[in-house]
Amino acid sequence: MNLQPIKDALLASYEADGGINHLDGVNLPSQRSINELASDCMHLLFPGYFEDSGLKKENVPAHIDRLLARVDSRLTAEIQKSFTFAKDPNPAGHAREAATETLRRFPEMRKIIQTDVAAAYDGDPAARSVEEIILAYPCVLVISLQRLAHVLYLLGVPLLPRMLTEYGHERTGADIHPGAEIGTHFFIDHCTGVVIGETATIGQHVKLYQGVTLGAKSFEVDESGNPVKGVKRHPDIEDNVTIYPGATILGGTTVIGKHAVIGSHVWLMKSVPPNSVVYYKGDLMSVVREQPGKPELKSTPISINQNDWVI
């Protein structure tokens, strides 16, 4: 087969349509390198869990030495590419600073991630051991990488944080933006189809099931019709909230109050008070308000037409 015409057409498309990696200019971060970085970071967060052979206690310091050196080298190189792409005036120096600060936060990250593991074990009666949670539950991977990416996001590193969370997305089916702020003891059961937007905040002891979306209701545009960046677009989920499969919660002013329960396939674009249960009853959405501290009082259902919730 003569491939020359196809080659010529591809070369022409590179010139006409773009989408080629900055030839003769800035080289973008390597997806393969980022994926390997993500894997190495999981080894650093959970030493002994993902190795091909057993790890003895006396060998841990040397093992961590090797891992740290590898992560440091790769992380610094990919951050430098990211800063160079963003036309940072000192990409090498700022990359070194950002990599050092990120690695410095690993012990703190590990402490928080251990609460996520505990939440998964406590929140799933099918779990038989903590080891099973770490090795086999997708939430551990995707939440751990989001917490790492969030550090890089706060340090102002472009490109790299989103590439890290996309590795978790590809592996687990859960798409969590690195900008989302997530409290301790976070558990996503099953993971598949979960979407959490950039400006969402999630409190402590929150549990989500598959298919939950914490998304934007709409977004502002400028006079040219381009999306306005950096505005609050996604909801706030307070402490001890449970959100069941398929629920969609939208909007930057939407707040789900503490101890609320959101039922399956509920669609929300307005805030819900604390201690509420929200569910569908036929074509109507009902909000049941619990009475904290007054167990003798029965909850009162309030039927709300779904149209009343659309802004």
Give per-residue pLDDT as tens, 82-114.
Answer: 999 999 999 999 999 999 999 999 999 999 999
What per-residue string of b and e applies to 127-137 under the rule 16 or more CB within 10 Å gives b? beeeeebbeeb
Q: Is pLDDT at 19 greater than 80 in this prediction? A: no
> Where do the CATH 2.160.10.10 domains begin and end in the chain?
193-311
The neighbour count for residue 56, using CB atoms within 10 Å, is 9
What is the reported pLDDT for 306? 44
What span, in angstroms and rounded, lies between the C-alpha atoms of 89 and 214? 36
Give the domain 193-311 fold. UDP N-Acetylglucosamine Acyltransferase; domain 1 (2.160.10)
For residues 181-191, average pLDDT: 98
For residues 210-239, average pLDDT: 89
Amino acid (one-letter) located at 9: A
Contact 96, 120 (CB under 8 A): no
Per the model's pLDDT, the better-predicted residue between 119 and 285 turns out to be 119
Q: Is pLDDT at 282 greater than 80 in this prediction? A: no
The end-to-end CA distance of the chain, in Å, is 58
In CATH, 27-173 is 2.30.30.90: no
Q: Is pLDDT at 197 greater than 60 in this prediction? A: yes
> Where do the CATH 1.10.3130.10 domains begin and end in the chain?
27-173
Per the model's pLDDT, the better-predicted residue between 225 and 300 turns out to be 225
Q: How far is CA 30 from the centre of its chain?
A: 20
Split at pLDDT 50, 70, 90, the class of 216 is very high
Nearest one of 309, 261, 250, 253 to 288, comparing CA atoms = 261
What is the reported pLDDT for 2? 85
Nearest one of 308, 232, 207 to 267, comparing CA atoms = 308
Tokens of 196: 């959490």
Place of tokens 């997305």: 169
Split at pLDDT 50, 70, 90, the class of 20 is low
Nearest one of 245, 265, 235 to 189, comparing CA atoms = 245
Which three-class secondary structure state does DSSP give residue 220? coil
What is the reported pLDDT for 307? 43
Give the tens place of pLDDT for each residue, 119-147. Answer: 999 999 999 999 999 999 999 999 999 99
